[in-house]
Amino acid sequence: MTTYDLVVMDLAGTTVVDDGLVEGAFGRAWDRLIATDEGREAALEHVRATMGQSKIEVFRALVDEDTAQALNVAFEAALDELIAEGRCVEIPGARAVLEELRSRGLKVALTTGFGRSTADAIVEHLGWGDLADVVLTPADAGRGRPAPDLALAALLRTRGSSVGTMVCVGDTESDALSGRAAGAGLVVGVLTGARDEDSLRSAGADIVIASVADLPALLR
């Protein structure tokens, strides 16, 4: 039986409820910056299809570099507004999961495709500052998901013993692909995001659970 020492968990959709949070922020940013309905729905579809990936990379696939940078700034400002409006809440039981994992001596890393300011705002809003050993964004790691950089950076930052003792948890194909590419000993998909079990397993999840709340029992 493998003994795990590091759990790498995604934010939106995995530990934080994404009840239209990302789409809502993108919609606000698009309306303020692009200000036209032309291409809006196709852009939103692209955002949905690339959930879990670095947001600046997602925007670069839609518009030119200058516009992508401006759109990213507007997106993060809109996310901050939604957080302030109370749209940022934990997946039921997520805090208890973080507390239990830490109490059992496991390291915990929270990772996201959001920028640093948004990641910090979410963690501060939820009061999780003392529950994660590290919070990482694509800018901290080099590349966002589905590349393995975030998981590997978490392993290095927490001084994990090996990739084989690392668990990667997420709600999208990008999360599963990233964990698999990093060589994680266990890749876990959760069904609290927008993806179903078949999609997560096809992307490399070893096991799929209903919610991150089920994770401690799985790791026992």
Give the tens place of pLDDT for each residue, 171-208.
999 999 999 999 999 999 999 998 999 999 999 999 99
CA gap 169, 209 in Å, rounded: 10
Give the tens place of pLDDT for each residue, 136-161.
999 999 999 999 999 999 999 999 99
**What are 73's two structure tokens?**
């700034």
CA gap 130, 54 in Å, rounded: 25
- Neighbour tally for 26: CB within 10 Å: 25
pLDDT at 220: 83
pLDDT bucket at 21, cuts 50 / 70 / 90 = confident
CA gap 133, 114 in Å, rounded: 18
- Tell me if the domain spanning 6-18+89-219 has CATH number 3.40.50.1000: yes
pLDDT bucket at 74, cuts 50 / 70 / 90 = very high
Peptide bond just before 146 cis, omega within 30 deg: yes
Q: Is the pLDDT of residue 1 over 70?
A: no
Torsion of CA 147, 149, 114, 69, to 10 degrees: -70
pLDDT at 165: 96
Averaged pLDDT for residues 164-169: 97
CA gap 182, 164 in Å, rounded: 9
Q: Is the pLDDT of residue 2 over 90?
A: no
